[in-house]
A and B are shown apart, each in its own frame.
Chain A
């Protein structure tokens, strides 16, 4: 038996210091900036990493929250994202605002955003760098696992409230499992 299995099983043993998480993320972004030297490329990498995290984390959320069923409209998606997903993984809940007329697009206001708590982006990067881009990727990846294709962009980030725009594109019919059709 390894040491890890002796830890008490429960939610507490799974929680880590928020600062460790924030600092790790900060170090990652800084390292990417050094390596890639182009903020746009950093955004792309962060998005890709987030996407891969999202693909894996979606099942985790569903396995541990049996009450979440299948979402059949964007309001339910927004609800789960704002109240359950962000709360579980970032420790904050978000506000859902700015619905489009067609009800297929909304904004998530994450306030405060734990990722940007200590961050001051240098002015020469502020235009291009999307510091919290990983959250966007994660949302996109997770929803793809649930057969919903969305577009996610960061509207505003560091220095203001983080606002993420989520837009419904289509249902991935080819991957919807039997019994789950609309």
Chain B
């Protein structure tokens, strides 16, 4: 998979569509004996790995279950007693213990917040430009991923997040997503404009398009 995520942001800056390439992962499970050799901390009410990556458990992974009992926030109920996960894992009597870790995920709420933040950054970037009539952010590169953004003349933004080595064919991909938006969202009379896109056909078309894009890229690599 060379594409991680696709977002469509409407003219007011709110997220109207997102596609996530990640399959629902089951996480990593491991049996630990005392003392725990991974440093955990509570971040955003989730017990998170902050140091000591090993055995497929990486930084920012969160504890999602202990001995098969799922964790709610940073609390877990074991044998009728409510424990804080941190306390439970520091008590020698509770060991050995099976802990399941989940890779970090971003929730729909967080995606909505990030999208409107990106919308604002885009606007600021266009205004800060030393040269007039700058188009705003088109590509954003980091060591881990690359973000491509295309803004249509009407003001809808199409954003693709993919691997850092993503090739130049992304412009074409973005234009195709725009076409799909025009076809399957706007031409659907039951879709109200500027509202979240919940159209099965649009979903399917996006999925097909990205699969095709990935296949094509494999051949050329």
- A residues near B, CB below 8 A? 55-60, 62-64, 66, 68-70, 145-147, 175-181
Assess A59 versus B127: contact at CB under 8 Å? Given A177-B11, A179-B133, A179-B151: no
Q: Using an 8 Å CB-CB cutoff, how does the interface string of B153-167 with A read, 1 for contact, 0 for none? A: 111100000000000
A residues within 8 A CB of B54? none
Cα-based distance from A64 to B175 in the complex (angstroms): 9
- Residues on B lying within 8 angstroms of A by beta carbon are 11, 122-123, 125-127, 133-136, 151-156, 175, 178-179, 181-183, 186-187, 193
**A56:B193 contact, CB within 8 angstroms:** yes
Contact of A62 among B133, B135, B153 (CB under 8 A): B153
Q: Collect the chain A residues with CB atoms within 8 Å of residue B153's CB.
A: 62, 68-70, 146, 180
Whether B154 and A179, one on each chain, are in contact in the complex, defined by CB atoms closer than 8 angstroms, is no
CA distance A55 to B178 in the complex (A): 15
- Using known A-B contacts A59-B154, A63-B152, A63-B175, determine if residue A178 contacts B126 with beta carbons closer than 8 Å: yes
The answer to whether A179 touches B187, judged by C-beta atoms less than 8 angstroms apart, is: no
User: Which residues of the partner chain A approach B136 to less than 8 Å between Cβ atoms?
Assistant: 178-179
- Please report the C-alpha to C-alpha distance between residue A18 and residue B198 in the assembled complex, in whole angstroms: 32
CA distance A145 to B179 in the complex (A): 16
Q: A66 to chain B: which residues have CB within 8 Å? A: 175
Query: What's the A-B contact tally at a CB cutoff of 8 Å?
Result: 62
Can you report 18 residue pairs joining A to B where beta carbons are below 8 Å apart? Answer: A57-B186, A59-B186, A60-B186, A62-B152, A62-B153, A62-B154, A63-B152, A63-B179, A63-B181, A64-B182, A175-B155, A176-B155, A177-B155, A178-B125, A178-B136, A179-B134, A179-B136, A180-B155
A52 to chain B, nearest CB (A): 9
In the complex, how many angstroms separate the beta carbon of B45 from the nearest chain A beta carbon?
Answer: 36
Residues of A within 8 A of B155 (CB): 147, 175-177, 180
Contact A56 B187 (CB under 8 A): yes
Known A146-B153, A180-B153; contact A59-B181, beta-carbon cutoff 8 A = yes
CA distance A98 to B19 in the complex (A): 49
Which single residue of chain B is at the shortest CB-CB distance from A144? B154
User: Is the beta-carbon distance between B127 and A178 smaller than 8 angstroms?
Assistant: yes
When chains A and B are docked, how far (Å) is the Cα of A69 from the Cα of B154? Answer: 11
Cβ distance A113 to chain B, nearest Cβ, rounded Å? 24
Give every chain A residue within 8 A of B127 (Cβ-Cβ): 178
Does B186 lie within 8 Å of A56, measured CB to CB?
yes
Cα–Cα distance between A69 and B151 once the two chains are bound (Å): 12
Task: Tell me whether A60 and B182 are in contact (CB under 8 A).
Answer: yes
Which of A63, A146, A175 is packed against the most chain B CB atoms within 10 Å? A63
Contacts of A70 on B, CB cut-off 8 Å? Answer: 153
Which residues from chain B contact A175 at a C-beta distance below 8 Å?
11, 155
Q: Which A residues touch B175, using CB under 8 A? A: 63, 66
| A179 CB contact (under 8 Å) in B126, B178, B179 | B126
Please name all residues of chain B whose beta carbon is closer than 8 Å to the beta carbon of A178 when the two chains form the complex. Answer: 122-123, 125-127, 136, 151
